């Protein structure tokens, strides 16, 4: 809190001898200018940076009178700040300690052309100063209450990360024995080296985990998303921010996981304004649990909500990016598991790095073909949620899809491979992938071959042969005439240079 002392001048009083009420607005302005200057951001410097901060609202309450020669102390603080609107609070007292005035002013931030500025992105230093001041005066504002549905490896790794970020975390599972073990041992059997903080709460009660939370995180397997949303619906308020970290596409409906959640919650007609975020990227729980550097994508059609989630998850070990292409991010998250199965099968057959690189490259090519037909943004497929997630899933032994594929390639029946490895989202996604391929008439030879192997229609060895002996094609998606014209043009240019 910063203070400014103002001595009431004779001209500031009215015929009754008291300070005219309009002057208090000016005292607020003077105090705000001095406050920002004390913090290292004088108005002249902000304008030099291209930041204009007009007043959008003023709220005043007069508590006592002042008169000529009174000395008024104005205390100034950041009352609220959401990255777009700044609210500054003011308290005024006179020399005898009498509180005479309280008020607030609201401000937005514009560039010289009159367009809104996102301070967090465009004026990071100023943004961070305002956030620090907010946390000084309202320390609890930075603590977000989070409920996590699901106590698997990803749910627990994220619970620890979010607790480490200073948030209040409650984890739910429908299995009482699981909750009992996690609560008692403060460890997870599949996450060696992880210690769950004592202040992370555990429950089997859906109302406890879902009610009164700033963010609700769905971390159950994709096949359990709809049932979990249905069970939790009575306890989820409309307007709730919901973050989904499950990756998959529901067969028959062909909905992504956030679409499944929205569909299930909307059935009572009382959840039309929930805010859904897909959190996805190259993120193994085993590494996040040990604070290894990781990057992830917060995807939401509402950029402000995406940035809210970005701020909640981001720390020195978790770098979070935003994206508005929710469908593209979720499609990549589901389909890359199938491509990773193919890479695993190839490795199980004894093939090497060349085959692995080819399958990853052609895998993202067929995912992007489908995504573009569905209206997704092309840039998503070259980002963390696209090629990034595919690389980590297809190459790491942390990946159940990769390990399951290796077993299948070695001759283990698919059903037995799943039993040995656990939940394999790539196999769960296959029916939906085949339906999407048919609906949008997109060629997806790798996914189609994996489906044939899993269904027992061909062997893993035959899959590799079938992919290698497909009809010739070009890597460039252009007409044959265009390709031949470009080739002839390049030969002509090259020949001219040689001569």
Strand partners, 296: 320
Contact 399, 336 (CB under 8 A): no
Strand partners, 215: 146, 241
Closest by Cα among 413, 412, 399 to 340: 399
Closest by Cα among 395, 282, 276 to 343: 395
Distance between CA atoms of residues 370 and 379, nearest Å = 14
Phi, psi torsion values for 223, nearest 5 degrees: -70, -10
H-run or E-run covering 62? strand 55-62
Distances in whole angstroms, Cα of residue 76 to Cα of each of 19, 31, 121, 423:
20, 7, 26, 55
**Active-site option among 213, 247, 336, 448:** 336
Catalytic annotation on 336? yes
| Tokens coding 323 | 């994206």
Number of H helices, E strands in the chain: 21, 13
Contact 281, 388 (CB under 8 A): yes
Distance between CA atoms of residues 200 and 194, nearest Å = 13
Distance between CA atoms of residues 199 and 61, nearest Å = 41
Closest by Cα among 253, 213, 206 to 230: 206
Closest by Cα among 357, 356, 363 to 339: 363
Closest by Cα among 316, 319, 311 to 135: 311
Distance between CA atoms of residues 425 and 338, nearest Å = 8
Residues noted as catalytic: 336
């Amino acid at each position: 809190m910063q203070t400014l002392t103002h001595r009431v001048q004779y001209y500031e009083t009215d015929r009754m001898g008291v300070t005219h009420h309009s002057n208090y607005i000016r005292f607020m302005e003077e105090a705000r200018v001095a406050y920002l200057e004390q913090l290292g951001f004088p108005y002249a410097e902000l304008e030099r940076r291209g930041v204009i901060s007009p007043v959008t609202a003023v709220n005043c309450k007069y508590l006592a009178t002042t008169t000529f020669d009174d000395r008024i102390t104005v205390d100034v603080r950041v009352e609220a700040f959401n990255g777009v609107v700044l609210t500054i609070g003011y308290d005024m007292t006179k020399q005898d300690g009498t509180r005479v005035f309280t008020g607030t002013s609201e401000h937005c931030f514009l560039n010289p052309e009159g367009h809104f500025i996102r301070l967090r992105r465009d004026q990071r230093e100023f943004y961070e100063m305002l956030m620090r001041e907010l946390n000084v005066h309202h320390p609890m504002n930075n603590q977000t209450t989070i409920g996590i549905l699901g106590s698997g490896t990803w749910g627990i790794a994220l619970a620890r990360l979010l607790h480490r970020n200073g948030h209040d975390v409650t984890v739910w599972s429908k299995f009482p024995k699981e909750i009992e073990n996690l609560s008692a041992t403060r460890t997870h059997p599949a996450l060696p080296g992880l210690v769950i903080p004592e202040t992370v709460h555990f429950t089997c009660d859906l109302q406890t985990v879902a009610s009164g939370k700033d963010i609700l995180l769905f971390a159950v397997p994709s096949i359990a998303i709809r049932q979990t949303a249905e069970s939790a619906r009575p306890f989820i308020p409309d307007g709730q921010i919901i973050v989904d970290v499950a990756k998959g596409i529901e067969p028959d409906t062909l909905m992504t996981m956030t679409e499944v959640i929205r569909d299930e919650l909307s059935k009572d007609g009382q959840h039309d304004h929930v805010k859904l975020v897909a959190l996805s990227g190259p993120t193994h729980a085993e590494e996040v649990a040990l604070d290894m550097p990781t990057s992830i994508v917060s995807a939401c059609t509402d950029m402000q909500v995406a940035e809210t989630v970005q701020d909640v998850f981001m720390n020195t070990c978790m770098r979070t990016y935003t994206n508005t292409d929710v469908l593209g991010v979720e499609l990549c998250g589901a389909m890359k598991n199938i491509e990773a199965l193919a890479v695993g099968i190839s490795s199980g057959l004894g093939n090497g790095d060349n085959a692995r690189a080819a399958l990853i490259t052609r895998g993202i090519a067929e995912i992007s073909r489908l995504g573009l037909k569905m209206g997704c943004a092309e840039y998503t497929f070259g980002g963390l949620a696209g090629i990034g997630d595919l690389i980590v899933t297809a190459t790491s032994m942390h990946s159940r899809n990769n390990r399951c594929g290796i077993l299948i390639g070695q001759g283990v029946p698919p059903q037995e491979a799943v039993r040995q490895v656990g939940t394999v989202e790539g196999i769960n996604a296959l029916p939906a992938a085949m339906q999407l391929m048919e609906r949008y008439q997109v060629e997806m030879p790798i996914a189609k071959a994996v489906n044939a192997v899993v269904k027992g229609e061909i062997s893993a060895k035959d899959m590799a042969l079938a992919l290698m002996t497909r009809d010739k094609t070009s890597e460039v998606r252009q007409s044959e005439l265009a390709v031949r014209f470009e080739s002839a043009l390049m030969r002509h240019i090259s020949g001219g240079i040689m001569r």
